Amino acid sequence: MSSTVPLVDFHAHLDLFPDFPAIFGECQAHDVATVAVTTTPFAYPRNLEAAQDFPLVKVALGLHPQIVGERHASIAEFERLSPDAKFIGEVGLDAGPAHYGTFPDQEKIFRRIAAICSEQGGKVLSIHSFRTAKKVLDILEDSGVPRNCFVVFHWFSGSGSEMNRALELGCFFSVNGSMLEKQARAESIKKIPLNRLLTETDGPFRNSANRIPARPQSVAETLNGLAAILPGKVELLRQHIWSNAKRMIGGIADNL
């Protein structure tokens, strides 16, 4: 395998950058395979339109848990669009102080999303699980999603036992630079097998090294940070991460 395989940004909010939709072409120009997540299903069509000439960008159908309180009725639009959506995200649960009041609605919506994905099969889910890893895993397991789809935990902050449970279920983890800044989190990242590891920026919500919102090509910084704590050269790690992403980007049926 060539060392010039694409970089991988498995979780970025491209439609929230001020230069949307030009940033889609930037992903292609910088050779970054990018999953463009959305926060509401109503943003999905315009993201698809922006990505149509850029094969390295895949658009995900999302309903972010932080907006479920005011947008729970959007599940109808999510369900309408879901049959043609291979990528799903950002979805999940958030039990942070600012959003805990909407948790019953979040759980109801996420259970429905999990059921939809499991029933339709062949999806790739990018999951938000802030302070909710156990509940998210319970819902995923109850619905059968890990048997029928790929699951990727975005910016995972659960415990070691929760990570082990996710690994046993076949889940992947997308890692960003902020996760490498804390020693304890960096130590947990070392426990992720290379065949379950992905990179992300979560741009524009986290900053790059030069303190501006991380763009997809900023994922190179994360790759270098991972290479500093994991065995092997950065080129080999890049190949591993692309191989993991290609399983999902290039097709699911042959790899389950």
CATH number for the domain that contains residue 241: 3.20.20.140
Does residue 150 lie in a domain region? yes
Count how many domains the chain has: 1
Residues present in the chain in total = 256
d(CA 207, CA 227): 19
Q: Which of 161, 158, 155, 105 is nearest to 136 (CA)?
A: 158
3, pLDDT greater than 70: no
User: Percentage of the chain with pLDDT > 90?
Assistant: 88
User: Residues 168-195: what's their mean pLDDT?
Assistant: 93
Question: Is 150 in a helix, a strand, or coil?
Answer: strand
Using DSSP bridges, classify how beta strands 172-175 and 87-94 pair: parallel, antiparallel or unpaired. unpaired
Domain extent, residue 180, equals 7-249
* pLDDT 10s digits, 53-93: 999 999 999 999 999 988 889 999 999 999 999 999 999 99
The region of weakest confidence among 68-72, 89-93, 167-171, 191-195 is 68-72
251, pLDDT greater than 70: no
- Predicted TM-score (pTM) of this structure: 0.94
User: Percentage of the chain with pLDDT > 70?
Assistant: 96
Q: One-letter amino acid identity for 23?
A: I
Does residue 210 lie in a domain region? yes
Does residue 39 lie in a domain region? yes
Does residue 234 lie in a domain region? yes
1, pLDDT greater than 60: no
Instruction: Count CB neighbours of 185 within 10 A.
Output: 15
d(CA 71, CA 49): 23
Q: Which of 128, 134, 96, 102 is nearest to 113 (CA)?
A: 128
* pLDDT at site 25: 97
DSSP H helical ranges for the chain:
22-29, 44-51, 68-71, 75-81, 103-120, 133-143, 145-148, 160-168, 177-180, 183-189, 219-229, 234-249
The region of weakest confidence among 120-124, 177-181, 194-198, 239-243 is 177-181
Does residue 245 lie in a domain region? yes
The region of weakest confidence among 28-32, 41-45, 160-164, 248-252 is 248-252
Does residue 2 lie in a domain region? no
